[in-house]
Amino acid sequence: MRTAVDVSALVGPYPFREVPHPDPDVLVRVLDREEIDGAWVGYLPGAFHRDPSPGNAALYRALSAHRDRLHPAPAIRPDWPGWSRELTRAIEAGARAVRAWPMQWGMGVGHPALRELGHACHERSVPLILTVRFEDSRQRHPMDVTGHLPAAMVRELVRAGTGARVVVVGAGRGFIEEVHWGLTPPERATTSYDTSWIWGPPEDDFAHLLRTIGPAHFVYGTGWPLRLAQVTRANLALLPPDLAGVSLDDPTRWTARRPDA
């Protein structure tokens, strides 16, 4: 079964351990192998920079040879001077989504700048991707002390009513349930979760979430290059018979009304 988009792919090195070949041409080969049409790609080292602009520029350059498959999802830091111009630049560069790294930027739950970014994303029809974690907390480098994204941060952002499509990547069952059931039905309708960090059998968290929350809230994500891209395919393949062949949401529909998408 072909998949339209991987929403949680990144390129570039990771500062806390060696990651093999985190390069765009390798990502394209992985997408081919996994039968994924394209990816919304972020710039991994940029998550640890204060000013995301140079990293975004590096991302656009890195993806330039593969723009038919790899679409930039740069970082927009809404408490940084000129962020609105950076968002315009991102859209002009073909961004299908943008990322924010509030924990790495020291933003707390309910930070007003995040709400501003949410409004801007809604106005420009650009989904906003938030990442819960890069690695298992038990293996973090001693210098990697930033906490995981708290579920409360997602709830507060969505409850602010910006209308932005919020895509949470790297969340597990507990996080997803805490956000989903902590929102009103209209708020839930604007919130999606990627599949990269949800357990399959025997706990069957993925099957449970598909049954209770519904497949329309989930989008395909791999977490590449930090995680094996095969995990989501494995999870889908191991779903019980009543969920076999389930269709996840197609993120391309969120940007379909944009003329450049």
Partner 1 sequence: MSEPLGGDGPLIDIHAHFYQEGAGRLQWRSLNASRLAAGDRIGVTWHVGSVLGSWGATSPTYFQSPDDTVAGNDVMLAMQAAEPGRVRAWAAVNPNDASFALAELDRCRQRGAIGLKLAAARRADDPLLAPLLEFAEAHHWPVLHHAWQRRPAWVPGQDPSDALDLCALAGRHPRVGIVLAHIGGGGDWSHTLSAVRDVPNVYLDLSGSGVDRGMVDQALAAVGAARLVWGADLTLDTGLAKLWALDVVGLPAADRDAIRWRNAARLFPPGAFPGIVA
Kindly list the residues in this chain that would bind partner 1 in the complex (CB under 8 A).
Answer: 17-20, 33, 135-136, 138-139, 199-204, 206, 224-228, 230-231, 233-235, 237-238, 240
Minimum Å gap between C-beta 133 and partner 1 is 12
Smallest distance from partner 1 to CB 22, Å: 8
Nearer to partner 1 among residue 132 and residue 153 (C-beta): 132
Minimum Å distance from CB 56 to partner 1? 24
If the CB atoms of residues 121 and 231 are measured against partner 1, the closer one turns out to be 231
Residue with smaller CB distance to partner 1, 139 or 143:
139
Residue closer to partner 1, measured from CB, 142 or 185? 142
Beta strands in 55-190 (DSSP E): 70-72, 98-100, 128-131, 166-169
Give me the residue label for tokens 């929102």: 183
Minimum distance, C-beta of residue 72 to partner 1, in the bound complex (Å):
21
Residue 5 β-bridge partners: 38
Among candidate residues 156, 163, 193, 152, the one with its CA nearest the CA of residue 176: 193
Q: Residue 175: how many CB atoms within 10 A of its CB?
A: 21
Minimum distance between the CB of residue 26 and partner 1, rounded to whole angstroms? Answer: 10
Quick one: 146 or 252, whose CB is closer to partner 1? 146
**Is residue 99 within a helix (H) or strand (E), and if so which, with residue range?**
strand 98-100
Tell me how far apart the alpha carbons of residues 222 and 104 are, in angstroms, rounded to a whole number: 21
Task: Tell me the two tokens of residue 113.
Answer: 């700048």
Q: How far is the CB of 137 from partner 1 (least distance, A)?
A: 9
* Closest to 248 measured CA to CA, from 215, 224, 222: 215
Query: How many Å is the Cα radius of gyration of the chain?
Result: 17
* 8 A C-beta contact, residue 79 and residue 107: yes
The answer to whether 154 and 162 have CB atoms below 8 angstroms apart is no
